[in-house]
A and B are shown apart, each in its own frame.
Chain A
Amino acid sequence: MTAGATPDRPDEPPQMRIVRPYALTGGRTRSGASDLPIETLVRTSARGREVGPKLQLEYRTIAEMCEEPLSVAEVSVHLGVPLGVARVLVTDMSEQGLVDVHKGRTDRPNQALLERVLHGIRDL
């Protein structure tokens, strides 16, 4: 028992979604070294498909919905949790090889990428 532990909160993470969102992440709102950009695309990996049914509810739901790539923002909406929570869950799954993440850029898009975007929009 650490000095900072609050007596009124069980240490065991709850299993179902009748819980406060941040309980899902053990109170974490930030994950790992860096936050995933909000537009980061998440796609279920082969391993994620394989073990998906055995995962806890939130992971399982993410593994199911990300058969088709979705952004972290969409995961947040479809799971009904704030962005920070979605980021933590996706990062956890990525670290366990359950999903592949395709991050957005952290620097300004270069000319080649901008030209692809421009052509893409023009062709809409």
Chain B
Amino acid sequence: MGFETSNDRGAPAAGDEPLQPVKIVISGGFAVGKTTFVGSISEINPLTTEAAMTSASTGVDDTSKVQTKTHTTVAMDFGRISLGGGLVLYLFGTPGQARFQFMWDDLARGAIGAVVLVDTRRLADCFPAVDYFEQLGLPYIVAVNCFDGLQFHEQQAIREALSVPRDVPLVFCDARERTSTKESLIMLVEHALSRAE
């Protein structure tokens, strides 16, 4: 690559292109397939960034009145999809446990919406994320990751067990499949559009 002397004439058009990043949050319980989901459609191999957080210790420490601080490092996987015309979509996978909610505030700001991934064996893992996005008013869909497929009656049972509001789209997906991931993302953006009026 290297540096070249700046020259107003003949600068690459790409350098003048207005850029617009957008993002979608991918949340869900531990090992539910968030990175797989992101990787199935990302144009780069999913990267892992570390957000170091400092927070006042909430531990019980009666021997000291001094407030201690703890440093927490949270790994976050993300991918990128260039959509043309300077539009770049980032997918951020974030841990779904309630104790990571401090990260969600940052990620949810300005986001198109969220995909809450669900493992059929651990349905309850998605509840903190669902509650959070519901409370925030961020558009979200629930995507049940079921790579072996499900019978219709199983789908109905899961839908009931999740008890998400009726206006929240629910999709059965295979996080390994690009087409499936693409459909989930389309469903989310359509849902966000329907609420953008």
B29 to chain A, nearest CB (A): 22
Is residue B150 contacting chain A, with contact meaning CB distance below 8 A?
A: no
- Contact mask for chain A residues 54-73; partner B; CB cutoff 8 A; 1 contact, 0 none: 00000000011001010101
Which A residue's beta carbon lies closest to that of B7?
A46
Do B51 and A83 touch across chains, with their CB atoms under 8 A apart? Answer: yes
Partner of B52, one of A43, A82, A110: A82
Give Cα distance in the complex from A53 to B5, angstroms.
Answer: 11
The 3 closest A-B pairs by CB, nearest first: A120-B83, A105-B110, A102-B19
Is residue A95 contacting chain B, with contact meaning CB distance below 8 A?
A: no
- Contact mask for chain B residues 1-20; partner A; CB cutoff 8 A; 1 contact, 0 none: 10111101001000100111
Do A77 and B88 touch across chains, with their CB atoms under 8 A apart? Answer: no
Is residue B197 contacting chain A, with contact meaning CB distance below 8 A?
A: yes
Stretch of B119-127, B166-174, B185-193 with 4 or more beta carbons under 8 angstroms from chain A: B185-193
Do B41 and A124 touch across chains, with their CB atoms under 8 A apart? Answer: yes
Give Cα distance in the complex from A82 to B196, angstroms.
Answer: 34
Set of chain B residues within 8 Å of A83, measured between Cβ atoms: 49-52
User: How big is the B interface, by class?
Assistant: 35 or more
A60 to chain B, nearest CB (A): 9
Do A116 and B19 touch across chains, with their CB atoms under 8 A apart? Answer: no
Set of chain A residues within 8 Å of B21, measured between Cβ atoms: 37, 39-41, 71, 102-104
Which B residue's beta carbon lies closest to that of A102?
B19
Do A74 and B110 touch across chains, with their CB atoms under 8 A apart? Answer: no
A-B contact pairs, 16 of them (CB 8 A): A37-B110, A49-B3, A49-B5, A73-B49, A73-B78, A74-B80, A76-B50, A109-B192, A113-B20, A114-B192, A114-B193, A118-B186, A118-B190, A123-B84, A124-B41, A124-B83
Is residue A121 contacting chain B, with contact meaning CB distance below 8 A?
A: yes
Do A104 and B110 touch across chains, with their CB atoms under 8 A apart? Answer: yes
Do A121 and B189 touch across chains, with their CB atoms under 8 A apart? Answer: yes
Give Cα distance in the complex from A113 to B19, angstroms.
Answer: 12
Is residue B159 contacting chain A, with contact meaning CB distance below 8 A?
A: no
Q: Which residues of A are in contact with B by a Cβ distance under 8 Å?
A: 29, 35, 37-41, 43, 46-47, 49-50, 52-53, 63-64, 67, 69, 71, 73-74, 76-77, 82-84, 102-111, 113-118, 120-124
Do B78 and A111 touch across chains, with their CB atoms under 8 A apart? Answer: no
Partner of A64, one of B1, B48, B190: B1
Partner of B47, one of A50, A74, A84: A74
Set of chain B residues within 8 Å of A117, measured between Cβ atoms: 22, 83, 87, 89, 112, 189
- Contact mask for chain B residues 67-90; partner A; CB cutoff 8 A; 1 contact, 0 none: 000000100101011011101111
Which A residue's beta carbon lies closest to that of B51?
A83
Set of chain B residues within 8 Å of A38, measured between Cβ atoms: 23, 49, 90, 92, 106-107
